[in-house]
Protein backbone atom coordinates (compact mmCIF):
# COMPACT_ATOMS: atom_id res chain seq x y z
CA UNK A 1 0.00 0.00 0.00
CA UNK A 2 1.38 3.40 -1.00
CA UNK A 3 1.78 5.89 1.83
CA UNK A 4 0.46 9.35 1.15
CA UNK A 5 3.05 12.10 1.27
CA UNK A 6 0.77 15.12 1.60
CA UNK A 7 1.47 16.30 5.19
CA UNK A 8 -2.06 17.48 5.84
CA UNK A 9 -3.55 14.11 4.92
CA UNK A 10 -1.28 11.92 7.07
CA UNK A 11 -2.80 10.04 9.92
CA UNK A 12 -0.83 9.77 13.20
CA UNK A 13 -0.05 6.19 12.34
CA UNK A 14 1.35 7.14 8.92
CA UNK A 15 3.46 9.83 10.55
CA UNK A 16 4.89 7.22 12.92
CA UNK A 17 5.93 5.08 9.98
CA UNK A 18 7.52 7.96 8.11
CA UNK A 19 9.26 9.85 10.89
CA UNK A 20 9.45 7.60 13.94
CA UNK A 21 7.82 10.47 15.93
CA UNK A 22 5.21 10.12 18.62
CA UNK A 23 1.49 10.69 18.50
CA UNK A 24 1.95 14.26 19.83
CA UNK A 25 4.25 15.04 16.92
CA UNK A 26 1.74 13.48 14.55
CA UNK A 27 -0.96 15.78 15.93
CA UNK A 28 1.30 18.77 15.48
CA UNK A 29 2.03 17.69 11.99
CA UNK A 30 -1.62 17.02 11.28
CA UNK A 31 -2.64 20.49 12.53
CA UNK A 32 0.20 22.17 10.71
CA UNK A 33 1.83 23.44 13.95
CA UNK A 34 5.56 23.63 14.30
CA UNK A 35 7.06 22.60 17.69
CA UNK A 36 8.05 26.24 18.22
CA UNK A 37 4.46 27.35 17.66
CA UNK A 38 3.23 24.63 20.00
CA UNK A 39 5.67 25.69 22.74
CA UNK A 40 4.68 29.32 22.32
CA UNK A 41 1.04 28.41 22.81
CA UNK A 42 1.82 26.23 25.82
CA UNK A 43 3.82 29.03 27.44
CA UNK A 44 0.97 31.44 26.69
CA UNK A 45 -1.59 29.16 28.33
CA UNK A 46 0.66 28.69 31.38
CA UNK A 47 1.15 32.45 31.76
CA UNK A 48 -2.61 32.88 31.45
CA UNK A 49 -3.31 30.37 34.21
CA UNK A 50 -0.70 31.93 36.51
CA UNK A 51 -2.18 35.36 35.79
CA UNK A 52 -5.70 34.24 36.68
CA UNK A 53 -4.47 32.67 39.93
CA UNK A 54 -2.48 35.81 40.84
CA UNK A 55 -5.52 37.99 40.15
CA UNK A 56 -7.73 35.74 42.27
CA UNK A 57 -5.18 35.93 45.10
CA UNK A 58 -5.01 39.71 44.89
CA UNK A 59 -8.81 39.97 44.95
CA UNK A 60 -8.93 37.71 48.00
CA UNK A 61 -6.39 39.96 49.73
CA UNK A 62 -8.44 43.04 48.86
CA UNK A 63 -11.84 41.51 49.59
CA UNK A 64 -11.28 38.68 52.10
CA UNK A 65 -14.17 36.51 53.14
CA UNK A 66 -14.82 37.92 56.62
CA UNK A 67 -18.06 36.11 57.29
CA UNK A 68 -18.41 35.68 61.05
CA UNK A 69 -15.15 37.53 61.72
CA UNK A 70 -14.45 41.03 62.97
CA UNK A 71 -15.26 43.35 60.06
CA UNK A 72 -18.48 41.52 59.22
CA UNK A 73 -21.88 40.97 60.88
CA UNK A 74 -21.23 39.00 64.07
CA UNK A 75 -24.12 37.12 65.66
CA UNK A 76 -23.89 37.17 69.46
CA UNK A 77 -26.31 35.72 72.01
CA UNK A 78 -30.08 35.90 72.21
CA UNK A 79 -31.20 39.20 73.67
CA UNK A 80 -32.80 37.37 76.58
CA UNK A 81 -29.24 36.68 77.79
CA UNK A 82 -28.51 40.41 78.09
CA UNK A 83 -30.72 41.52 80.98
CA UNK A 84 -31.37 45.23 80.94
CA UNK A 85 -30.92 47.70 83.78
CA UNK A 86 -31.84 51.27 84.56
CA UNK A 87 -29.12 53.86 84.26
CA UNK A 88 -27.61 53.67 87.75
CA UNK A 89 -27.99 49.92 88.18
CA UNK A 90 -25.47 48.70 85.61
CA UNK A 91 -23.12 45.84 86.55
CA UNK A 92 -20.70 44.63 83.89
CA UNK A 93 -21.66 41.25 82.42
CA UNK A 94 -24.56 40.94 84.85
CA UNK A 95 -27.06 43.59 83.80
CA UNK A 96 -27.07 46.64 81.57
CA UNK A 97 -23.58 46.29 80.09
CA UNK A 98 -21.92 43.24 78.52
CA UNK A 99 -18.52 42.83 76.93
CA UNK A 100 -18.35 40.73 73.75
CA UNK A 101 -14.78 40.04 72.62
CA UNK A 102 -15.76 38.63 69.19
CA UNK A 103 -17.33 41.98 68.29
CA UNK A 104 -14.80 44.01 70.35
CA UNK A 105 -17.86 45.75 71.72
CA UNK A 106 -19.85 46.55 74.78
CA UNK A 107 -23.54 45.78 74.43
CA UNK A 108 -25.65 48.27 76.35
CA UNK A 109 -29.21 47.31 77.31
CA UNK A 110 -30.90 50.20 79.08
CA UNK A 111 -34.34 50.02 80.65
CA UNK A 112 -36.57 53.09 80.82
CA UNK A 113 -37.96 54.50 84.05
CA UNK A 114 -36.36 54.63 87.52
CA UNK A 115 -32.90 56.22 87.39
CA UNK A 116 -32.85 56.39 83.59
CA UNK A 117 -33.03 60.09 82.75
CA UNK A 118 -33.20 61.41 79.22
CA UNK A 119 -32.18 65.02 78.72
CA UNK A 120 -33.96 65.36 75.37
CA UNK A 121 -37.49 64.59 74.34
CA UNK A 122 -39.72 64.45 71.30
CA UNK A 123 -38.11 64.89 67.91
CA UNK A 124 -34.78 65.90 69.45
CA UNK A 125 -34.59 62.59 71.29
CA UNK A 126 -35.56 60.57 68.21
CA UNK A 127 -32.95 62.40 66.15
CA UNK A 128 -30.37 61.72 68.87
CA UNK A 129 -31.18 58.00 68.79
CA UNK A 130 -30.63 57.90 65.03
CA UNK A 131 -27.42 59.96 65.13
CA UNK A 132 -25.93 57.81 67.90
CA UNK A 133 -27.03 54.35 66.64
CA UNK A 134 -29.47 53.59 69.45
CA UNK A 135 -31.84 50.70 68.80
CA UNK A 136 -35.26 51.04 70.42
CA UNK A 137 -36.66 47.56 71.02
CA UNK A 138 -40.33 46.58 70.80
CA UNK A 139 -40.50 46.31 74.62
CA UNK A 140 -39.37 49.95 74.99
CA UNK A 141 -35.81 49.19 76.10
CA UNK A 142 -32.71 50.62 74.44
CA UNK A 143 -29.64 48.98 72.93
CA UNK A 144 -26.24 50.07 71.71
CA UNK A 145 -23.06 48.35 70.49
CA UNK A 146 -20.09 50.48 71.57
CA UNK A 147 -16.64 49.88 70.10
CA UNK A 148 -14.11 49.14 72.84
CA UNK A 149 -11.42 51.51 71.56
CA UNK A 150 -10.83 54.91 73.15
CA UNK A 151 -11.11 57.60 70.48
CA UNK A 152 -8.22 59.56 72.01
CA UNK A 153 -5.22 57.31 71.27
CA UNK A 154 -6.70 53.84 70.98
CA UNK A 155 -6.48 52.20 74.41
CA UNK A 156 -9.13 49.66 75.32
CA UNK A 157 -11.68 51.38 77.53
CA UNK A 158 -13.06 49.43 80.51
CA UNK A 159 -16.57 49.86 81.81
CA UNK A 160 -16.35 50.70 85.50
CA UNK A 161 -19.22 49.64 87.74
CA UNK A 162 -17.92 51.97 90.47
CA UNK A 163 -18.10 54.94 88.08
CA UNK A 164 -21.27 53.90 86.28
CA UNK A 165 -19.39 54.88 83.12
CA UNK A 166 -16.34 54.11 80.92
CA UNK A 167 -13.00 55.47 82.09
CA UNK A 168 -9.88 55.13 79.95
CA UNK A 169 -6.81 54.13 82.03
CA UNK A 170 -4.34 55.74 79.61
CA UNK A 171 -5.13 59.46 79.80
CA UNK A 172 -8.44 59.55 81.63
CA UNK A 173 -11.05 60.06 78.91
CA UNK A 174 -14.44 59.49 80.41
CA UNK A 175 -17.63 58.37 78.67
CA UNK A 176 -21.20 57.86 79.85
CA UNK A 177 -22.90 54.42 79.68
CA UNK A 178 -24.11 55.28 76.17
CA UNK A 179 -20.58 56.23 75.08
CA UNK A 180 -21.24 59.96 75.14
CA UNK A 181 -18.18 62.04 76.01
CA UNK A 182 -18.02 63.31 79.61
CA UNK A 183 -14.51 64.71 80.08
CA UNK A 184 -10.83 64.13 79.29
CA UNK A 185 -8.77 64.52 76.10
CA UNK A 186 -10.97 62.40 73.78
CA UNK A 187 -12.06 64.46 70.76
CA UNK A 188 -15.52 62.89 70.52
CA UNK A 189 -17.82 60.26 72.01
CA UNK A 190 -17.11 56.53 71.71
CA UNK A 191 -17.61 55.03 68.27
CA UNK A 192 -20.43 52.56 67.83
CA UNK A 193 -21.46 49.80 65.45
CA UNK A 194 -24.75 49.21 63.71
CA UNK A 195 -26.67 46.51 65.56
CA UNK A 196 -29.94 44.63 65.12
CA UNK A 197 -31.76 41.44 66.07
CA UNK A 198 -32.45 38.50 63.81
CA UNK A 199 -35.89 36.82 63.67
CA UNK A 200 -35.15 34.64 66.68
CA UNK A 201 -33.89 37.57 68.76
CA UNK A 202 -30.14 37.01 68.39
CA UNK A 203 -28.16 40.23 68.77
CA UNK A 204 -26.15 41.00 65.63
CA UNK A 205 -23.37 43.56 65.52
CA UNK A 206 -22.23 44.79 62.13
CA UNK A 207 -18.54 45.38 62.82
CA UNK A 208 -18.15 46.58 59.24
CA UNK A 209 -20.28 49.64 59.95
CA UNK A 210 -18.65 51.91 62.51
CA UNK A 211 -20.15 55.29 63.35
CA UNK A 212 -17.23 57.60 64.14
CA UNK A 213 -19.23 60.81 63.94
CA UNK A 214 -20.70 61.23 67.43
CA UNK A 215 -19.27 64.55 68.59
CA UNK A 216 -18.79 65.74 72.13
CA UNK A 217 -22.40 66.47 73.10
CA UNK A 218 -23.69 69.83 74.27
CA UNK A 219 -26.96 70.74 75.96
CA UNK A 220 -28.80 70.44 72.67
CA UNK A 221 -27.53 66.94 71.82
CA UNK A 222 -26.66 65.07 75.04
CA UNK A 223 -29.08 62.17 75.36
CA UNK A 224 -28.49 60.78 78.86
CA UNK A 225 -27.98 62.41 82.20
CA UNK A 226 -24.36 62.39 83.38
CA UNK A 227 -23.46 59.91 86.15
CA UNK A 228 -22.38 62.60 88.64
CA UNK A 229 -19.65 60.39 90.12
CA UNK A 230 -16.03 61.44 90.54
CA UNK A 231 -14.11 58.70 88.77
CA UNK A 232 -10.37 58.26 89.31
CA UNK A 233 -8.19 57.04 86.45
CA UNK A 234 -7.48 53.65 88.03
Q: Which residues pair with 204 in a beta bridge?
A: 75, 196
User: Which range in 5-13, 32-40, 151-159, 199-207 contacts ligand FES by CB under 6 A?
Assistant: 151-159
- Asked if 189 and 175 count as a contact pair (C-beta separation under 8 A), the reply is yes
- Asked if 46 and 75 count as a contact pair (C-beta separation under 8 A), the reply is no
**Which SS3 state, helix, strand or coil, does residue 209 take?**
strand
Closer by beta carbon to ligand FES, 41 or else 171: 171
Rounded least distance, CB 143 to ligand FES, Å = 24
For the stretch 84-104, what's the b/e string if a residue is b when 16 or more beta carbons lie within 10 angstroms of its beta carbon?
bbbbbbbeeeebbbbbbeebb
Rounded distance, CA 165 to CA 230, Å?
10
User: Which range in 37-45, 92-100, 169-177, 218-226 contacts ligand FES by CB under 6 A?
Assistant: 169-177
148 binds ligand FES (CB under 6 A): no
User: Which range in 21-29, 32-40, 165-173, 208-216 contacts ligand FES by CB under 6 A?
Assistant: 165-173
Rounded least distance, CB 220 to ligand FES, Å = 25
Closer by beta carbon to ligand FES, 116 or else 165: 165
131 binds ligand FES (CB under 6 A): no
Closer by beta carbon to ligand FES, 12 or else 184: 184
Of positions 170, 194, 210, 226, contacts ligand FES by CB under 6 A:
170
Rounded distance, CA 84 to CA 212, Å?
25
Pairing of strands 202-211, 165-167: unpaired
Binding string, residues 182-211; x marks residues near ligand FES by CB under 6 A? --xxx-------------------------
Rounded distance, CA 114 to CA 87, Å?
8
In the complex, which residues of this chain contact ligand FES (CB under 6 A)? 150, 152-155, 168, 170-173, 184-186
Amino acid sequence: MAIQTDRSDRTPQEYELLTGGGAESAELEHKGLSRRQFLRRAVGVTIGIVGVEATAGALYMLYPNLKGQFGSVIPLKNKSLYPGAQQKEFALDEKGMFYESAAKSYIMHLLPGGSTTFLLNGTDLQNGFVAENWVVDSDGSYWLALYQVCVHLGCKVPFRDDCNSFKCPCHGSHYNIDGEYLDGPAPRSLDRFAMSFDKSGVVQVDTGKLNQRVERPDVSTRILNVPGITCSAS
